[in-house]
Amino acid sequence: MGDISVGMQTPLATTRADLPSLMPFMPHPIQTLKFAVLAGDYIGPEVMAEALRVLKHVAQLENFALDATAADVGGAGIDHHGKALPDSTVKLCEQSDAILFGSVGGPKWEKLPPKEQPERAALLPLRKHFTLFANLRPGLLYRELTDASPLKRERIPDGIDIVCIRELTGGVYFGLPKETKTLPDGDIQAVDTMVYKKSEIERILQVAITTARARKKKLCSVDKANVLETSVLWRKTVTDYCAKHTPDLALTHMYVDNAAMQLARDPNQFDVFVTENMFGDILSDEMAVICGSLGMLSSASLGAGKNSLGLPFGLYEPAGGTAPDIAGQGIANPCAQILSAALMLRYSFGLEKTAQRIEAAVRQAVTSGTRTGDIAFGKPSVGTRAMADAVIANLG
Ligand code: IPM
Ligand code: MG
């Protein structure tokens, strides 16, 4: 084995350009990393191949083994098994310690009824099935890439380094009733229901607190407590819990409409923000655009359950989607997928140091000038494979 257990003792710096570990120590050293590979559609398999190449390289360097099994999901699931989330895929995930996910959906399946489309019929049931309630989305823009952001450089002289913690299995996405019906007068009515329990709010809050403590000890809770009952409960629960358990944190509250504005005005005023499912969906897309390229943003969705190592089971995916317009050309940016693999090592396998090693290699590759088209600003760019080659070269 390499020195992988050392990573779990890594002190958590106050300002880190990535996400800190949520686990204070490793229960036991890992020999084999067992995970499911759900590459999905369009650029999904292209960038996944590169992330796996990086993982294989680092596994060789650090002397651990990979037990990675691929399965169909999304459009590939529909085409080969008749549904976006085939039973065999769920079974494979159940037998794994983590899921490395690509991205799903695209024009090929757009004519299907909304409920059968890859995004809704694969991703949401996976989240629910594994209770992946904590979605961590780092909003990271390297200083050297500030030109990629639509924000003026003077607003982000040192880039952006914030984290969105989004509740992922509650709220209006899953609340019942959820239906469309014809009323007696012939009009049509659709209903979605926003529901939150105190326990669900406390559960996501605990993840946010751990993350905030490992960074700048600043936490902003985002809600719409001037209008919504769920937000009134959200704010009261956060306020009470933090008053009791986290006097060390600077806690603030912000209405979601104001948060959307503040993100565009001065993103670094946030360090960690926590919010409910739909607000997090919207704000994290805004965060992605101010960070320049979707091709750089990773995410972790952590489960309530533990894997066979006693660490959080999780699904790790890039934020960028399937990018059908550039699929098959070998030009997609693989960095978000590679960084998602790093998050998997950190959270589901406890390999903090290895995760940092990959993150540093990506950063070094990009900042030293190897860039795919999305972050090249008109300068010569490289393809998917060459980008990953540069990352691998920097791993040592
Ligand atoms: C996301 C996506 C999903 C969501 C879609 C694809 C269902 O937008 O992960 O942010 O809304 O959660
Ligand atoms: Mg979204």
* C-alpha–C-alpha distance, residues 322 and 311, integer Å: 29
119 CB less than 6 Å from ligand 1?
Answer: yes
Domains 1-149+294-396 and 153-290 belong to one CATH topology = yes
Residues of the chain under the 70 pLDDT cut = 1-30
Q: Are 317 and 294 in contact (CB under 8 A)?
A: no
Q: Which residues, 6+ apart, have CB-to-CB distance to 366 below 8 Å?
A: 142, 144, 145, 296, 335, 375
Which residue puts its alpha carbon closest to atom 1 of ligand 1? 281
Is residue 17 packed enough to be buried (19+ CB in 10 Å), middle (13-18) or exposed (0-12)?
A: middle
Pull the structure tokens for residue 347: 């959270």
* Domain regions of the chain by residue span: 1-149+294-396, 153-290
Q: Give the residue from 336, 313, 314 showing the smallest Cα distance to 384.
A: 336
286 CB less than 6 Å from ligand 1?
Answer: no
* C-alpha–C-alpha distance, residues 174 and 121, integer Å: 13
257 catalytic residue (yes or no): yes
pLDDT at residue 109 in the model: 97
Pairing of strands 250-255, 218-223: parallel
Which residue puts its alpha carbon closest to atom 10 of ligand 1? 281
281 CB less than 6 Å from ligand 1?
Answer: yes
Superfamily of domain 153-290: Isopropylmalate Dehydrogenase (3.40.718.10)
Q: Which residue has the tokens 């020999």?
A: 31
DSSP 94-106: HTSSEEEEEE---
CATH 3.40.718.10 corresponds to the domain 1-149+294-396: yes
* C-alpha–C-alpha distance, residues 385 and 200, integer Å: 41
Instruction: Note the pLDDT tens digit of each residue in 255-299.
Output: 999 999 999 999 999 999 999 999 999 999 999 999 988 889 999
223 catalytic residue (yes or no): no
Q: What are phi and psi of 319, to 5 degrees?
A: -90, -10
pLDDT at residue 29 in the model: 61
Q: Are 349 and 1 in contact (CB under 8 A)?
A: no
pLDDT at residue 293 in the model: 84
